[in-house]
Copies of this chain bind each other. A is one copy, B any other.
Amino acid sequence: MIEEIHKKVSAFLKTKGLRNTPQRNAIIDVIFESDEHFTADELWERIRKSNSKASRATVYRTLSLLVEANLLHEIDLGEDLKTYDPNFHDKPAHNHLICVDCGKVLEFEDSHLELLNDCLTRRMGFRPKSQSIRIEANCEKLRTSGTCPDLINARVTGKRIPKKR
């Protein structure tokens, strides 16, 4: 799978007259070894902890490239920082549900939703290009039972629990 990504990147670079470099490859490896969303800074930290290295500037520059190559998407999680999602390669049309209790992000796809959006777009006189849906919701488990494993885990790992909006 990671090979497939590298192949796509190489093809993309070639069409743009750009080059394969150790830094770019290292960054790609770190990104796609997990399916976690991340910020530029988190990525840079992960690189630093790995045995390869790349400067912040290179991290930013590579992120732009990967977004342009459509291997990475910027997504809106309602945070201030840009968040990147590496999972569009596997799930090209997924959406996000954000738990406002613990911050957990679920990815989901639904063909009915896509179809409906598609129809609405055409009815307005447009040709659909991309759609993104963000749902904020409360955890039902937490509400009924007063606890939720994700929330406990978020607290343990010190994850910032979102302000309820």
Residues of chain A having any CB pair with chain B under 8 Å: 76, 97, 99-100, 106, 108, 110, 112-113, 116-117, 120-122, 124-141, 143, 165
Contact = CB atoms under 8 A, between A and B. Distances in A.
A72 B59 CA distance: 35
Complex A-B, nearest 3 residue pairs according to Cβ-Cβ distance, in ascending order: A126-B137, A76-B76, A127-B138
A163 to B, nearest CB: 10
A108 B140 CA distance: 29
Contacts of A122: 140
A126 B99 CA distance: 8
A127 B140 contact: yes
B110 A97 contact: no
A113 B113 CA distance: 7
Nearest to A122: B140
Given A113-B116, A120-B110, A137 B127 contact: yes
Given A108-B120, A126-B139, A131-B135, 19 more contacts: A76-B134, A97-B121, A97-B126, A100-B129, A110-B116, A113-B113, A113-B116, A113-B117, A117-B135, A122-B140, A125-B139, A126-B137, A127-B138, A127-B139, A128-B137, A130-B135, A130-B136, A131-B134, A133-B134
